[in-house]
Structure formats: C-alpha cells, structure tokens
Chains A and B, each alone.
Chain A
C-alpha cells in the first residue's frame, strides 16, 4: 500500500523567508501528485497538480517539483507571508485512490 510521508510535521518561519516542504511516497507508480492547503476548520484547497510525466508546476509564489523515480516532491514557497499559515498536504494518485500525507503545519511569523 502506498505510504505518503511529509517532513517536517510543523514549521515556523519569519515573514519573507523562502521555504521548502517535503513529501515522499513509497510506490512510484503514480498518476499525479497534488498539493493542498487546509486552513483550520476548513476544507482543502488545491494548490498545484503535477502529472506523472511532469517535473514541476508553478503558480505565483508556489513551485512544486516531482521526482517520481525517487518518490519525492517538494513545495517551494517564495517570500512567505502570514497568510500562508496553514497545513499543507500532499496527495498521490494511484489507479483508483488518492493517498494523503499527514501534512506540514506552517506558521509564518509577522
């Protein structure tokens, strides 16, 4: 069974800093990988989706990379802002299922 791990579990950074969140998965036979953001008490918001044939995707200050062979993905956030504070989850898609990591709780300190 696919296992998805996110490190670190929690991260605090000062405003303006660039940061990287990590996601690793055990089975490289994936269709895509998706990064989500979850605010406390709220649902998940899709940030970026990378197809298995792609290496990276960018949206504004966010850049996600995928190395399928090594089972790794990173989410890079540039010039972090207090509004970026949330839990970030990665999810990998198998044949008929979506496997989530446990998330990284990010706090950006003003």
Chain B
C-alpha cells in the first residue's frame, strides 16, 4: 500500500488566496483526520471524518476553514481566504476504526506558506 497520500507537498500563496489541500487515505480505512502542526502550538486536530461523515470539527479554527470528504478515497481541506497565520504543516491521517481510538497512519504533510 502506498500509505496516506497528500498533495501538494509544498504550497506558497499570497494572503487572501484560496488554498486547497488534498488527501487520499489508505484503502480500506474508514476514518480520516486533518491536523495542523506549528512550532507554537504543536500538533492540533482540526477535523475528522468517519465513513465520509464529519464527526468532530471543533478544532477548525475559523469559518475560513472547511473540509469535505466526497467519497472514501478522497478529502480536501480548504482555506478561503488564507492568512499568514495559517502557515503551518497540515497532516492527513487515516485509520480503520470508529472514531479516534485506533492507530492512525499519517501522510507526509503539506507545508503551507502564506505570504
């Protein structure tokens, strides 16, 4: 298995632009998680899906952030409009579980820089 796939690996954009991050979970996994990692705040869970349904989005910082999972093999995290403070590494992870209770497998991350 190729593991969790994220694209792009690096994204540089200007403030105010829309940013879309993509994730393909491991085939057969039914839970998908989006995390953000910064030096100041460490790793934070933004949102997670179970069977393509958003279960907990309490970590989404603002309305500028939205996430979708149209099918079991694809998810997007969108930031519109982007701001410099959104600069971080965004990780996607997946697991074969109900909820956040089982072993999660992480993608390589997308390093986002908002100028």
Interface residues of A (CB under 8 A from B): 31-32, 34, 36, 41-46, 49, 89, 91, 93-98, 100-103
Number of B residues, CB within 8 Å of A: 24
Whether the Cβ atoms of A96 and B42 lie closer than 8 Å is: no
Whether the Cβ atoms of B42 and A103 lie closer than 8 Å is: yes
Known: A101-B42, A102-B42, A103-B42. A96 touches B99 (CB 8 A): yes
Q: How many A-B residue pairs have CB under 8 A?
A: 51
Known: A96-B56, A98-B45. A31 touches B101 (CB 8 A): yes
B45 / chain A contacts, CB cutoff of 8 Å? 97-98
Whether the Cβ atoms of A43 and B43 lie closer than 8 Å is: no
Whether the Cβ atoms of A43 and B108 lie closer than 8 Å is: yes
Whether the Cβ atoms of A43 and B56 lie closer than 8 Å is: no
Among B43, B44, B56, B106, max chain A CB count under 10 A is at B43
A42 / chain B contacts, CB cutoff of 8 Å? 108-109
